[in-house]
Amino acid sequence: MNNYDLIIIGAGPAALTASVYASRYKVNHVVIGQNMGGMMTQAHKICNWPGEKEISGFDLGIKMKEHAESYGAKIIETKVSQIRKVDNLFIADVDGVEYSAPTILLATGTIHHSLGLPNENKYLGHGLSYCATCDAMFFRNKNVGVIGGGNSALTAALHLAEIASKVYLIVRRDSFRGDPVWIEQAENNNKIEIIFNTNVSEMIGEKKLEAIKLDKEHNNSDQLLIDGLFVEIGSSPQTEFFDALKIDIDPQNYINVSADQATNIPGIYAAGDITGGSNQLHQVITACAEGAVAASSIFKYLQKIKA
């Protein structure tokens, strides 16, 4: 058994910030997360992080990881399969190895929504992607589509417009839900063609994606010939693997937390996009703030139970 004071589950900005603070509080901890940097790494540009006028999500994630490691943090890049409570300890099962601690911080963030279309998985990696930052370079001088109407779709379209020949931005509603600055840039980019009030109903292609079918005609056709399709339609909190802990969640499955980031279960805290905190402003800066608050609260909690 690997024993710690704190197990941080997740590897995004909330988790890595919590690690920095935990190290400064001399809290013996381990960070366990599969996607280092979290969904932040998929952001083409982050322009609202203080001190950085513009930085890619990937680069910011690397900086946060290096910062945490500079304080001696132990970071394990893998997935936790189960969390259970035994007496006064929480046990995390990781690839057949058990890690225990009296406190745990859940910072697993969110996962992308899929379209739910037949054979969708068939095209994943063969024209279909959920990460423009990861895969845009494969579509240089090609025609691509982006599905979504929020900031992730808008920024993905703008990133792809720097690389692809043509970008179709397909929005199921009659307007965008993103920030005005991204909407203005997308509307003024001559490589981006916006298609409102439309859904993708089918993916077409033998070995790879060759076209998509729309539920209404666009330019006298219900098909678009494209080489790639990027799905940017939101995300859901990753809460499934700790259902047995009976943590209080809201109707959208976000974890309910108090001002100190504590859950309804003593010793369990949560931070970042997985929570309904920070007025549900799911941003890197709020994730970091919640991670910092959680680490401070955990330090105080540990002092209390050890007294």
Residues with a known catalytic role: 131, 134-135
Cα–Cα nearest to 73, from 108, 41, 36, 26: 26
Cβ contact 95:78 at 8 Å:
yes
Cα–Cα nearest to 44, from 184, 163, 158: 158
Tokens 């990460």 label which residue?
Answer: 131
Cβ contact 212:145 at 8 Å:
yes
**CB within 8 Å of 290: residues ≥ 6 apart:** 14, 257, 261, 271, 272, 275, 277, 278
Rounded distance between C-alpha atoms, residue 155 and residue 158, angstroms: 5
Specify the length of the chain in residues.
307
